[in-house]
Amino acid sequence: MLVNKAVVQEIFKNLKTTYSKAFDAAPVVWPMIAMRVPSMGASNVYAWMDGFPRLKKWVGDKVLKSLSAHAYTLENDDFEATVAVLRKHIEDDQLGIYGPMAEMAGFSSRQFPDEGVLEIVSGGFANACYDGKYFFATDHPVINPATGKPANVSNKGTLALKCDTVTNARTSYGAARTAMKKFKNDVGQPLNITPNILLVGPSLEDTANILTMSDRIGDEPNPYKGTAKVVVDARLVTDTEWYLLDTTKPVKPFVYQDRKAPEFVSQVNLDSDDLFMRGAYKFGAEARAAFGYGFWQLAYGSTGAS
């Protein structure tokens, strides 16, 4: 094939079309558990508040609540995936090998936020959130309204997810639900946490489905049927970890900070150094983003190690 500017442009136009079709068709998980936050600069500063006061009867002067802001900053990172298209493959009509690459680039670009969000989910036992504690921790400080002093509250467990008996289900899954429902804001008001998603890896899929869908556990009625939607993802790091999440609120447990969504890019300049030195054009995807944590009260994580 004769290689000229028009031919190269048409080839990369077709590759972009292939990329776009695969991008649009790829399934995603992150919208179910994370919120997208647009970013307009190198980073976003999240001044997470301890809780906006609820409406109450207005008697006399309004009661002003000082909002205690925590500085929590997410720095955007650059991401890329690049494929070299050799000029000799164009000359020899061997472009078929690049179609699947363009498809895979589109597929993986669409799932790029999934990768970032699931990484921080598993990393929540060792990464800090807005209050300076690990996202899943036993010592989140919350003011006790009776004493005016902070008390430690836990959203972390270590028990394995079990469904063999109602007692074991209550000790693991049930205890997590109860703990989340008891979370309160800094003035002692319940947060009305509603756990609705049980996130697990493939090894716990059957257990999670039995807990949330079966009529019975062993010989007893299942008290947890219909209490959560099961989300299974193999990108969780271990086979034992499991998570209970509340995604019913405007704020979600995890943050996908979107500075530049994944986009198709190419280098087709006939005068480029790479073409002269290496005989290669290029295409791929680029993105800028960061991933982090929302309110810890919206999630409960267990390592499942015991």
At 195-207, the pLDDT tens digits run 999 999 999 999 9
pLDDT in tens, 131-163: 889 999 999 988 887 788 888 999 999 999 999
**Does residue 42 sit within a domain?**
yes
Q: How confident is the model at residue 34 (pLDDT cuts 50, 70, 90)?
A: very high
pLDDT of residue 276: 62
**Does residue 55 sit within a domain?**
no
**Does residue 66 sit within a domain?**
no
**pLDDT at 62 > cutoff 60:** no
pLDDT of residue 46: 82
pLDDT of residue 1: 56
- Mean per-residue pLDDT, 241-254: 96
Of 93-97, 203-207, 214-218, the one with minimum mean pLDDT is 93-97
- Mean per-residue pLDDT, 119-123: 98
**Does residue 218 sit within a domain?**
yes
- What is the extent of the structural domain holding 103? 5-47+75-302
Compute φ and ψ for 22, nearest 5 degrees.
-65, -40
The total domain count for the chain is: 1
- Euclidean distance between CA atoms 170 and 161, whole angstroms: 10
Q: How confident is the model at residue 171 (pLDDT cuts 50, 70, 90)?
A: very high
pLDDT of residue 11: 87
**CA-only gyration radius of the chain, Å:** 25
**Does residue 62 sit within a domain?**
no
- Mean per-residue pLDDT, 255-273: 87
Q: What is the mean pLDDT of the chain?
A: 89
- Euclidean distance between CA atoms 70 and 45, whole angstroms: 9
The pairing of strands 280-293 and 254-267 is: antiparallel
Report which of 201, 208, 197, 253 is spatially closest to residue 232, judged by C-alpha positions: 201
Q: How confident is the model at residue 175 (pLDDT cuts 50, 70, 90)?
A: very high
**pLDDT at 218 > cutoff 80:** yes
pLDDT of residue 245: 98
- Euclidean distance between CA atoms 191 and 264, whole angstroms: 43
**Does residue 207 sit within a domain?**
yes
**Does residue 69 sit within a domain?**
no
CATH number at residue 126: 3.90.1690
- Mean per-residue pLDDT, 228-232: 98
**pLDDT at 237 > cutoff 90:** yes
- Mean per-residue pLDDT, 10-25: 94
**Does residue 58 sit within a domain?**
no
Q: How many CA atoms lie within 13 A of 53 on its CB side?
A: 12
